[in-house]
Every structure is written in structure tokens, then in C-alpha cells.
Structure 1
């Protein structure tokens, strides 16, 4: 009985720590870091939109890291960014073990989503910190080259076309899901709206809808390219974030569609900062 009581007490204590101020602080720092990345990607994409094809800077996470490194105190900023994103990974990891905020936060689906996000942000954090430590091929690697290399390897597997097709379809569906939730303003469920003024709530809605829709369109388009690469068995058809963004300039709208997506990604960066302040954690 004593052992059971001690175990139960330890579990409760661990849960309190996971939901305590420390985890909340690192989670909010993570949202700040995510906001920085999306703002930089949005700015790079906007620059590409009106560059007449001459600007080959990567409009993706690698380009954002390289851009930040070139700023005054860039090296120190990279260490801060990597640490902030590590905080995001730790928070998502705590959600895997102890559940998300909200009445249904402890469901297996929500925990699995948090686990996947913990892995993703852990990788992003590692790549940024590795770049800051001197591995210049880490954080600034081309998302296009990485995507095409992974696609080429997967297509050589038994049933590779099906695997890549299903993966691309999943990314496409995730993009539509992200955009749909943004348009329906589902993000409001996770914000402390009662603590916001009416003006801040309106601004949050604009940023959340615009940013989420742009992010969803970007994901869905990248997923569509992956499906096309699988069906044609051409790895070069798969595109990372940079080439996916550049593909918007090939539409009838020309650079204006890319500019619109770029503004949306920057809006998502600002919305990440809204989350840093008012997100329920």
C-alpha cells in the first residue's frame, strides 16, 4: 500500500511539474521562436516574389536560419532560437505523457499528435543549434534537395510509389485540415479570449485565419507535388518549401499569389506570438 501511495504521489507531482510555470515558460518561448522562423520565411518569400527570378535565397527554414545568421549578433540569436524551439519540443513531449490542455486533451489521438510535434520541433531545434555550433550544412540545408533525396530513396523501395503517394496525400489532407480549421477559427478554443480586449481579439482572428489558411495551402500544394512525383516516378517533381513557394509564381496571378502566401506566412509568425501570450498551456 505504501508503494502504491508513493507511486501515485509521484505521478501527481510529475503532472504538476509538467503543467507548471517552467513548462509554460519554455512553451511560450517556443511559440516566439516559431514566430521568428515564419516571419523570416514570409519576408524571404516576399523578396522572391518580386525579384524577377534573380533572388536564389532559400525561402524556407534553411534560408531563414542563414538570414538570421547574417544579422548583427546573429550567432547569439541562433542559439536563442534553437533553445526556444527546444522548449517547444519539451512542451509537446510533456503533452505526450500528461495530455494537452482541455477536456479531451488526454485522448490517444491528441497525445500522438503531440508526440509527432515533439519529434518535429526536436529536429528543427537540433538543426538550428548545430548550425550555430558551426555545422553550416545542417540548419541551412535546402528543403528541396532533402525532399527530392528522400523521395528518390522511397521510390526505390518495394511499393515505393504507393508509400510516397500515401505520404503526399496525407500532407495534402493535413494542409486542407489546417486551412479549414483556420477558416473556422478553431484556434479560438486554445486562447484565453476573456483576457483579450475586443481589438486584440479581432487582430488575433485576422492573423489566425490569414496565417493558418496560407500555411494550409502551402502544405496542401507540397503534398500535391509529392503525389505527382510518385505517380510519374520522378523524384524531381517533389518540392520542398522553397520550390513550392516559387511554384506559385507560375500561376496566372504571377508573383502576386506568392506575395499573398508570403504575407500569410508572416501573419502566422505574428499569430505564433499571440499564442506565446494568450495560449492555454
Structure 2
């Protein structure tokens, strides 16, 4: 009886260890894939700032950039699979809890559900792009305008669009504040970081997170403006949002700073893939 119980416990422990390894692998693959997308979007936005606007600075443009490279199809599939891993990792957080003292709280679980849905959508779009190599895929700007127009046709659609835009603004502010406060420290394996690695993480985490938050907030503000004016065409996707920074009094230099920040966030995602506690 004791031998049988010990055998069962051993198998259960091995199963938990395997599940942990799968979860960790999915998380690290997902963070790496996210880093690639942000890095490419940032580089494309930098090209726009310096006068080369041939390719859109959004996820579609980033995927098209990858598709043009040697072994582009394989790279696209690897990126899509990595993002599937990201979605599955967030799903496990929703079901079983995340790392940290409040990882099992309802708030963290709901946040994990939202992230799971978001990354499942992103993964599906990347895999769809890989299947047909971008045929029929629209820009983020057109998709944003079309989605806003459809939402406005719903009952109380104008209010719903405005509320959605306000939520995105709030998410952007929250992302920026969390980055500046360096809240990501709570999730890192600090014992494995050398002083140089810690500086790298802080430079990329603060700069990249602040730029990412600014882009989210700006995109949300455009949606709110579209709702107030009842003009769906005023909504902007990622590409148009980034280009709008060049139209400010600071000119293209603001776009350069934001674009460099997105590149930093890509590098920060790679650092998380290496040192984040999962």
C-alpha cells in the first residue's frame, strides 16, 4: 500500500514537473516572439521617421518584413507558434494562478484571461499570414476604422466606442506608470542578473514600457475622438498612430524617440524570456 502510494506521488510529481517545463517553454517562446514583433515595428517606424514610409509600421508590416527574408515562411510559422505559447501560458495563469503573492487573486486571473484572448487573436492573425503570405490581410489602420464603424452601428455604439477608447487610454497610462515604477522587478530572477544585465533590463524596461504605454494611450485617444465626432475614420491603427507623432510640434524627432522605445521594448521582451520567473 505504501509502495503504491509512493509510486502515485512520484508520478504526480513528475507530471507537475513536466507541466511546469511546458509552461515555462511556452512563456519564454511567447516573450521572444513578442520581442521580435516590437523590434521590427520599432525599426519600421524609425524608417518612416527618416523618410522611408514604404512599409507600414504595424504587425502586418513586421510580418511582411520577415516574409521577405531567407527562410521567411519558417520564421513566420515559428513566430506564430511562439505566440500560441504566449496565449497558452496566460491561460494557465488564468486557471492555476501566476507567480507572486497575489498571483491567484481574481484580478490577476481576469487580467490573464484578457491577455490570453489578446494573444490568441494575435497568434491566429500571424498564422493566417503565414498560410497565405499576407494575401488579403489589411493594415491595422483600416482594421481599426472598420471595427470602429461596425461598433458605432450598435445600439449606444457611440458610447461603447468612446468607453473602449477610454479603456485603451487607461491601459496605456497603466503600462507607462508600471514601467517607470519598475514593477517588472517583482517578476525577475534577480539573483541570476549581473550588474550589467540589471542596467540593460532597467534601460529597456523603463524606456520601452514608457514608449509602449504612450502608443496605447495615443491610439485610445484617437478612438475617443472618433466617438465624440461620430466619425469612424478618425480612429487610427498602430501605423497611423505612430505617424501622427511626426505631426506634432516636435516633428519627426518625437517619432524617432517613440520608435527607439519600441525597439527597446523588443529587447526588454528578450530579457524577460531569459530572466522572468514563470
SS at match of 1:158: coil
Q: Which residue of 2 aligns with 1:94?
A: 92
After TM superposition, the score normalised by the length of structure 2 is 0.93
**2:102 maps to which residue?**
104
Aligned residue number for residue 262 of structure 1: 259
Q: 2:200 pairs with 200, 203, 211, which one? A: 203
Alignment match of 1:189 (pick from 186, 192, 200)? 186
* Structure 1 match to 2:124: 126
Q: Select 1:168's aligned residue among 140, 165, 168.
A: 165
Question: 1:136 Cα shift?
Answer: 2.1
Q: Deviations over 1:42-70 (max 9, x none)?
A: 0000000111xx62311001110011000
Describe the superposition over 1:90-115 as per-residue Cα deviations: whole angstroms up to 9, x where unpaired: 10111110001111000111011111
Q: Which residue of 2 aligns with 1:69?
A: 67
Gaps in structure 1 of 5+ consecutive residues: 1-8
* Cα distance in structure 2, aligned partners of 1:222 and 1:15: 44
> Could you say what secondary structure the match of 2:200 adopts?
helix
Residue by residue, what CA displacement relative to the aligned partner does 1:227-249 show, whole Å, maximum 9, x if unpaired?
00000000011000000000001
Aligned to 1:247: 244
Contact 1:17-1:23 at 8 Å conserved across structures: no
Q: CA deviation at 1:15?
A: 8.9
In 2: Cα distance, 1:230 partner to 1:216 partner? 21
Measured on the aligned residues, the alpha-carbon RMSD in Å equals 1.8
Question: Partner of 2:150 in structure 1?
Answer: 153
Q: Which residue of structure 2 lines up, in the alignment, with residue 115 of structure 1?
A: 113
1:119 and 1:31 mapped to 2: Cα distance?
16
Cα distance per residue 1:29-54 (max 9 Å; x no partner): 11110000000000000000111xx6
What's the TM-score once normalised by structure 1's chain length? Answer: 0.92
Q: Which residue of 2 aligns with 1:222?
A: 219
* Distance (Å, rounded) in 2 between the aligned partners of 1:46 and 1:135: 24
Given that 1:18 and 1:94 are in contact with CA atoms closer than 8 Å, whether structure 2 keeps it comes out as: no
- Classify 1:136/1:256 alpha carbon distance in 2 versus 1 (closer, same or farther; 3 Å): same
Answer yes or no: is the 8 Å Cα contact 1:214–1:265 preserved in 2. Answer: yes
**What's the offset of the Cα at 1:203?**
1.1
Runs ≥4 residues deviating over 3 A? 12-15
Q: CA deviation at 1:18?
A: 8.0
Kept in 1, the 8 Å contact 2:67–2:133? The answer is no
